[in-house]
Structure 1
Amino acid sequence: MSIIRLMTCETAIEANLIKGRLKNEGIEVFITNENFSNLMPHYNHILNSGIQIMLHETDYDNARTLLGLNAKTELICPNCQSKNIKMGLGKNKIRKIIAIIMSLLIFTPFNNLNSVYYCKDCKSEF
């Protein structure tokens, strides 16, 4: 029986709420990278870091069902209700690319470069 990652959370509060919910249902879980992510939050999402919820492989499907992670959600533009959506760097693409290059040159991440959803029909970001 191996241990696998269920999901990665942004904050310790979110991770502990999910951990409590799963433990109440009898699923044994534990959290990794909590201290590192609290000390260095700008490293979240770099090299797959973040607060990770780990569990036994046999409990994986049950935990996903309990948390509603199996439900497929389809992205719809809030402005025009289109389903023609893509993910990208957004309107400030040049600034984000410059930040990536600068962070590579001086070996320090400046900020989390969050991707945004972009509607190809009405050109809005969300």
Structure 2
Amino acid sequence: MKTKFYTLATFEFPADALVIKGKLESEGIPVFLKDENIINTYSFSSNAIGGIRLQVYSSDKEHATEIFEEFRSYATDAEGNPVVCPNCKATKSEIYYARKNMFFKLFPFLESKKYRCKQCNFITRPSK
């Protein structure tokens, strides 16, 4: 039998993933951290690998998403204010890297930072 997983979120740092993992497991949801050991060993490679993927069983997707939305943090600007989407004015944006060409796949740290709104999926660059 093939088990299906749902990637709830990705994290650059193991500590961030472990906090959410602990909360989900305390609610009875099994959690799997894909690439955690690689990033713990080679932390500089987190961006190149795509971060630590926090995964749950597909059958737990709705309940896990509900819990995660209560605890997640969204992107903030240099002053600590939430990033506002210019399209829909929501404050639920996250850092986004496209990695569309081979150069940025090999050197992801050179790609400029962008934000993607979780409400309307609009992608924007940070204001200066």
Same fold, judged at TM 0.5 (above):
yes
Distance 2:61 2:110 in 1: 29
C-alpha distance after superposition, 1:4-54 (max 9, x if no partner): 21111111001111110000001111111012223334433446x210111
Q: Which amino acid aligns with 1:30?
A: F
Unaligned runs of 5+ in 1: 86-100
- Measured against aligned partners, the alpha-carbon deviations of 1:85-119 in whole angstroms (never above 9, x if no partner) come to 6xxxxxxxxxxxxxxx9x94xx9537353414547
Per the alignment, residue 43 of structure 1 pairs with 45
Gaps of 5+ in 2: 88-100, 115-123
In the aligned structure 1, how far is the partner of 2:60 from the partner of 2:45? 29
**4+ residue runs of structure 1 moved beyond 6 angstroms?**
none
Aligned with 1:111: secondary structure?
A: helix
Residues 1-126 of structure 1 mapped to structure 2, 5 A cutoff: 1-46=3-48, 49-68=50-69, 84=86, 104=103, 109=107, 111=109, 113-116=111-114, 117-118=124-125, 124-125=127-128
Matched residue of 1:44: which SS? helix
- Between the aligned partners of 2:59 and 2:17, the Cα distance in structure 1 is 20
TM-score (ref. length: structure 1): 0.56
Contact 2:47 2:109 in 1 (8 A): no
Rg: which structure is higher? Answer: 1
Contact 1:31/1:54 (CA < 8 Å) preserved in 2?
A: yes
| Secondary structure, aligned partner of 2:7 | strand
Q: Which has the higher contact order (CA 8 A, sep 6+)?
A: 1
Q: Would you say how many aligned residue pairs link Structure 1 and Structure 2?
A: 97
Give the superposed CA RMSD. Answer: 3.8
Letter in 1 for 2:8: L
Give the percent of matched residue pairs that are identical in Structure 1 and Structure 2.
23
Conservation of the 8 A alpha-carbon contact between 1:3 and 1:55? yes
